[in-house]
Chain A
């Protein structure tokens, strides 16, 4: 699993470097999604499968969609996409895909690392000793919701 870790680490760092050097925000978003996917692979390698799934669903799914919406709203300032903008993120994404195929071919998905921490343990911990933190997170999300609604309200 060391090779998988090294490969996705390189992909994550390369995608992040490409992200902070892009001119167009859409290109940066593409690279950032690849970087998040690479981070999810690393978390999976480390035995944190539940959090890896959350990373893909919440980070690369929900939060990036918020950014895409904002880019659509402020559109004209960002430069138009030239035709070959998808090549770089696609190459990095294909590296991750090849890694997945390699892991499946080797049967590496069967044998988990020694320090695997499953979703059951995480849930028991989150709603056991950390229940206060979960409630505070709920308050935080409510505050974020109210704040975003207040700021985004249409004014007369």
Chain B
């Protein structure tokens, strides 16, 4: 069984990562930014799996499992932040986040709430 050349796998992971990065830069919707971050994480995991398969070691898959748990935690917190932001501002536009939001940043939001 002819196996896949190592470079092609890395190239595919790189292309996917670049696409995710372009998405993060171009899109201004917070939900899309989170989705594109997921694309980048998935591409990094794919690169780990490709490298692990290249040398026949399980380390790449172990790293992918770590990456998976990190992506799950990141998505949970990120989506909770997104819902909180949407509840306050009624918008998901990242460009509208810059105006006068310093006082109610999530770090200091513990005391006043609303």
Contact = CB atoms under 8 A, between A and B. Distances in A.
Interface of A: 1-2, 5, 9, 12-13, 16-17, 19-20, 25, 28-29, 32, 35-36, 39, 42-43, 45-48, 50-51, 54-55, 58-59, 62-63, 66-67, 69-71, 73-74, 77, 108, 111-115, 117, 121-122, 124-126, 130, 133, 137, 140-141, 143-145, 147-148, 151-152, 155-156
A19 B79 CA distance: 18
A133 B80 contact: no
B65 A54 contact: yes
B92 A151 contact: no
B68 A59 contact: yes
B76 A145 contact: yes
Nearest to B76: A148
Main secondary structure on A side of the interface with B: helix
Contact of B12 (A12, A25, A47, A73): A12
Nearest to A63: B75
B77 A148 contact: yes
Given A28-B35, A156-B113, A67 B79 contact: yes
A74 B68 CA distance: 26
Interface string B20-44: 1011001101011011101100100
B9 to A, nearest CB: 7
Contacts of A32: 35, 38-39
A43 B77 CA distance: 28
Interface of B: 1-4, 8-9, 12, 15-16, 19-20, 22-23, 26-27, 29, 31-32, 34-36, 38-39, 42, 45-46, 49-50, 52-62, 64-66, 68-77, 79-84, 86, 91-92, 106, 113-114
Chain A CB within 10 A, most for which of B2, B22, B114: B2
Contact of A115 (B3, B26, B36): B3
Interface of B is mostly: helix
B1 A1 contact: yes
Contacts of B66: 133, 137
A152 B80 contact: yes
A25 B30 CA distance: 10
A29 to B, nearest CB: 7
A70 B77 CA distance: 12
B35 A29 contact: yes
Given A70-B79, A115-B54, A151-B106, A141 B35 contact: no
